[in-house]
């Protein structure tokens, strides 16, 4: 029921009249009140999620344009377009339309390149954003569910890319489909049936491209859009996290208001991202399908790799030996099981499961169930940063393995040696990564302590009256200092008995992990320690320097 005041407001301008009309029908005012000056914290590392969102929008736009000309059909026809080396060749309509878009439709090549470059950057920005959230601990309560939504978006981005680059039906992506078919076939009992179902019969059949098309243009974008809505809704509900610093607490958000500053920066950034993508599409060739030729099961090219976000799967299967030290194809109960194909998938699934479950794993180990809105600098959570780096190293070894043959030709080394080295790195790399990263984090934390206690090294050397040379250190101001000391002090949580007074095996394991993670730790500087350090300084130095307050 409207009150009498609704009808009393008389706008003065025509814009005011239109806005008032909409407002009285839709109820915009409360929304403007709630969101118009909402505060968003500002840090460059927070922008990767935006890059992902914007490249997705560009994908939707460029994809719609491409869909106006692309023909997702495997019906066979002769090419009659401008590109001489394919003239008269029999190929699918999908490939014909892809060549037409590239060569005979103005702006078509630009649109194809814009779409494909944006896809690569979309997957990359989703990954970098995910890593940022991980390494700063932004997945902690209350954001665990949003983390899962993010993992879902990460996986959907990969599927979107795979289905997308398979659509032109060229030899390179067609061999990728062949590999996908074989991996499906490898699944025990149902594999061959799944393969028949997906391809509508034997490979390649006539159904796979139209089916991938509807998955790529309808089902996956709808799922991604839905998850994006949930993802952003939760960011609004929880508000964005922020790095610790002066004036920033667990109970506030410090930053700039949506209107006008944040909207201008975020909105402007959309155009900047678009500009970068357009620049790439204007200047650098991507997916030159005309070189690969239309899909045929006979040809193949040296240097056959999938797009980068699928590379880790390609690398994983390259690393697995098939016939060493024994054949990895075994027979169980009359079934042929190719473990050489299936086994590489297991560590990948474990990696992703660990990734998805990490918020709960960390909560279990640290017994920390508080809400966290202040982020961790990666160095201040050495256990998490080191585990994350171990995971990244594992992933990267697989990714790099996908280009083993190109490494061999580029660096003039033996292909087989490259594989041997990478097989070793597969196991040793994550362990080394963990150890080295943790040491680096602890060292950086100690450096922070040094700066708080003794100030910044100025590079000015002074000789004291009694002959000693010292380097003058400049103490930091309280704002800078607060940034270096405001971090949680993670400590070991030893095993404790449960309600019945018993220490379960699981709890013992947790205690051991807690000790492994947190035994080596660097605590933040306390005021008392700073006092002690000052007394020490005064005993050493004779005079004082101008203490500049530096921000």
Residue 286 CB neighbours (<10 A): 15
By CB under 8 A, the residues from 124 to 183 that bind another protein are 124-125, 128, 142, 171-172, 175, 178-179, 181-183
The distance of closest approach from Cβ of residue 521 to another protein in the complex, given in angstroms and rounded to an integer, is: 12
CA 228 to CA 216: how far, in whole Å?
17
CA 118 to CA 61: how far, in whole Å?
11
Residue range at the interface with another protein (CB under 8 A); choices 8-16, 65-73, 117-125, 437-445: 117-125
CB 166 within 8 A of CB 176: yes
Q: Is 466 in the site for another protein (CB under 8 A)?
A: no
* Phi, psi (rounded to 5 degrees) for 369: -110, 15
Q: Is 255 in the site for another protein (CB under 8 A)?
A: yes
Q: Per the structure block, which two tokens stand in for 410?
A: 């580029």
By CB under 8 A, the residues from 186 to 245 that bind another protein are 186-189, 191-193, 195-207, 237-239
Among 19, 20, 24, 42, binds another protein (CB under 8 A): 42
Q: Is 110 in the site for another protein (CB under 8 A)?
A: yes
Under DSSP, the state recorded for 309 is G
Q: Is 348 in the site for another protein (CB under 8 A)?
A: no
The distance of closest approach from Cβ of residue 117 to another protein in the complex, given in angstroms and rounded to an integer, is: 8
By CB under 8 A, the residues from 420 to 449 that bind another protein are none
The distance of closest approach from Cβ of residue 355 to another protein in the complex, given in angstroms and rounded to an integer, is: 19
Among 45, 73, 462, 545, binds another protein (CB under 8 A): 45
Cα torsion 120, 126, 131, 137 to 10°: value is 170
CB 305 within 8 A of CB 311: yes
CB 313 within 8 A of CB 399: no
By CB under 8 A, the residues from 263 to 302 that bind another protein are 264-265, 267-276, 278-288, 290-293, 295-302
Cβ proximity to another protein, 23 vs 105, nearer residue: 105
Among 19, 24, 43, 421, binds another protein (CB under 8 A): 43
Q: Is 491 in the site for another protein (CB under 8 A)?
A: yes
* Phi, psi (rounded to 5 degrees) for 345: -75, -25
The distance of closest approach from Cβ of residue 194 to another protein in the complex, given in angstroms and rounded to an integer, is: 9
Cβ proximity to another protein, 223 vs 253, nearer residue: 253
Cβ proximity to another protein, 23 vs 490, nearer residue: 490
Residue 44 CB neighbours (<10 A): 6
Cβ proximity to another protein, 471 vs 519, nearer residue: 519
Please tell me the count of residues contacting another protein according to CB under 8 A: 189
Q: Is 90 in the site for another protein (CB under 8 A)?
A: yes
Cα torsion 218, 123, 279, 285 to 10°: value is -90
By CB under 8 A, the residues from 469 to 488 that bind another protein are 478-479, 481-482, 485-486
* Residue 378 burial (C-beta neighbours within 10 Å; 0-12, 13-18, 19+): buried
CA 529 to CA 351: how far, in whole Å?
42
The distance of closest approach from Cβ of residue 40 to another protein in the complex, given in angstroms and rounded to an integer, is: 9
Q: Is 76 in the site for another protein (CB under 8 A)?
A: yes
Return the CA Rg of the chain: 29
Convert residues 297-336 into a mask of x (bound to another protein by CB under 8 A) and - (unbound): xxxxxxxxxxxxx-x--x--xxxxxxx---xxx-x--xxx
Q: Per the structure block, which two tokens stand in for 505?
A: 């095996």
Cβ proximity to another protein, 153 vs 209, nearer residue: 209
Q: Per the structure block, which two tokens stand in for 75?
A: 């019906």
* Phi, psi (rounded to 5 degrees) for 458: -90, -20
């Amino acid at each position: 029921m409207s009150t009498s005041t609704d009808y009393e407001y008389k706008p003065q301008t025509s814009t005011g009249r239109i806005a008032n009309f909409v407002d009285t029908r839709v109820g915009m005012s409360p929304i403007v009140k709630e969101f118009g000056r909402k505060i968003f914290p500002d840090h460059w590392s927070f922008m990767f999620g935006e890059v992902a969102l914007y490249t997705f929008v560009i994908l939707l736009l460029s994809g719609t344009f491409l869909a106006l000309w692309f023909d997702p059909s495997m019906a066979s026809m002769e090419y009659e377009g401008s590109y001489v080396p394919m003239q008269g060749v029999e190929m699918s309509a999908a490939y014909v339309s892809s060549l037409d878009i590239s060569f005979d439709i103005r702006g078509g090549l630009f649109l194809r390149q814009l779409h494909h470059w944006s896809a690569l950057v979309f997957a990359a920005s989703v990954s970098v954003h995910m890593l940022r959230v991980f390494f700063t601990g932004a997945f902690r309560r209350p954001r665990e569910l949003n983390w899962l939504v993010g993992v879902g978006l990460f996986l959907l981005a990969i599927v979107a890319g795979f289905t997308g680059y398979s659509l032109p039906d060229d030899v390179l992506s067609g061999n990728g489909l062949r590999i996908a078919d074989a991996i499906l076939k490898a699944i025990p009992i149902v594999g061959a049936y799944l393969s028949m179902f997906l391809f509508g019969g034997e490979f390649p059949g006539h159904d796979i491209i139209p089916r991938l098309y509807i998955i790529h243009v309808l089902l996956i974008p709808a799922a991604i859009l839905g998850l994006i809505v949930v993802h952003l809704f939760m960011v609004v509900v929880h508000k964005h996290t922020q790095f610790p610093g002066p004036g920033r607490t667990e109970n506030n958000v410090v930053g700039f208001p949506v209107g006008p500053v944040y909207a201008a920066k975020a909105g402007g950034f959309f155009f900047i991202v678009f500009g970068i993508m357009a620049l790439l599409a204007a200047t650098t060739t991507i997916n030159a399908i005309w070189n690969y030729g239309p899909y045929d099961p006979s040809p193949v090219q040296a240097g056959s790799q999938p797009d980068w976000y699928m590379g880790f799967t390609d690398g994983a299967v390259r690393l697995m030996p098939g016939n060493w030290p024994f054949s990895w194809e075994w027979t169980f109960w009359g079934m042929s099981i190719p473990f050489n194909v299936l086994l590489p998938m297991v560590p990948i699934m474990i990696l992703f499961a660990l990734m998805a479950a990490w918020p709960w794993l960390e909560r279990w180990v640290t017994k920390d169930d508080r809400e966290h809105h202040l982020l961790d600098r990666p160095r201040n959570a050495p256990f998490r940063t080191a585990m994350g780096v171990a995971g990244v190293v594992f992933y990267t070894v697989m990714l790099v393995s996908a280009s083993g043959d190109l490494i061999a030709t580029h660096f003039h080394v033996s292909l087989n040696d490259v594989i041997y080295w990478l097989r070793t790195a597969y196991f040793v790399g994550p362990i080394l990564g963990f150890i080295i990263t943790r040491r680096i984090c602890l060292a950086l934390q100690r450096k922070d302590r040094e700066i708080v206690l003794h100030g910044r090294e100025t590079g000015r050397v002074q000789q004291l009256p009694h002959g000693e040379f010292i380097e003058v250190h400049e103490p930091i101001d309280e704002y800078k200092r607060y940034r270096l000391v405001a971090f949680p002090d993670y400590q070991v949580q030893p095993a404790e008995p449960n309600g019945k007074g018993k220490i379960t095996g699981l709890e013992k394991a947790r205690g051991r992990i807690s000790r492994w993670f947190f035994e080596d730790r660097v605590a933040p500087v306390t005021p008392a320690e700073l006092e002690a350090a000052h007394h020490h300084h005064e005993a050493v130095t004779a005079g004082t320097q101008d203490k500049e307050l530096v921000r």
